[in-house]
Amino acid sequence: MNRPGYMQEIRKRIEAVKTGSVFVASDFADITGTKRISEYLMRLSADGTVKSVMRGVFYKPEYSMLLDEYTAPAPDAVAHALARNFGWTVFPCGDTALNLLGLSTQVPVVWSYVSDGPYKEYSYDYATIDFRHTANKEVSGLSPKTALVIQALKALGKDSISNDTKEKIKEKTSPEERTAMLSEAKHATAWIYEIIKTICR
């Protein structure tokens, strides 16, 4: 059954979040059915409240005064929206993990993620997002920060992790995150866990 307030509820929720936020229909599943939400998001796209990134993915437009145009949404936000849409658990890996953890200033050409879903690749504007299927043990039971650190260490490699890198990771994690990391990373590759122990001391 349709209800006039559904559209207003969705619009109100979108207006309450920051510009650049990315949405999929399932983000509003507590309001009404997915099919109807998709129709409403298309209507909100038509009136400029949201913009379409790709089929089924929308974002709240952010205008850049410097560029004098609307900017594209962050690839990381789009990746996590896609993951929510399909019910996947995903974590940044490779150069993406290094960039997000602040260990590299180089913006990835391809934004890569390990996932318990299938191998998939998506492109929009100038960004490409790559999901790589991996064993569940690499994505299950880990907090986002623990997974990010593990993937960053894997990207660097055992022999390329300096004391400076360890200090940078420590600066990027809170005491609470390090406590969780020490517990959650026990099943990671042995050399990675040894480095995490030194970071968490």
Res 103 pLDDT > 70: yes
Query: Which residue, chain included where needed, has tokens 């099943």?
Result: 187
pLDDT digits (tens, 9 = 90+) for 17-44: 999 999 999 999 999 998 899 999 999 9
Single-letter amino acid code for the residue at 43: R
Give me the residue spans of the domains in the chain: 5-71, 75-200
Q: What is the pTM of this model?
A: 0.89
pLDDT of residue 3: 55
DSSP string, 5-74: HHHHHHHHHHHHSPTT-EEEGGGGTTTS-HHHHHHHHHHHHHTTSSEEEETTEEE--EEETTTTEEEPPP
Percent of the chain's residues with pLDDT above 90: 81
Model confidence pLDDT, tens digit, residues 80-93: 999 999 999 999 99
Answer yes or no: are the C-beta atoms of 70 and 61 closer than 8 Å: yes
Looking at the domain 5-71, which fold is it?
A: Arc Repressor Mutant, subunit A (1.10.10)
What type of residue sits at position 118?
Answer: P
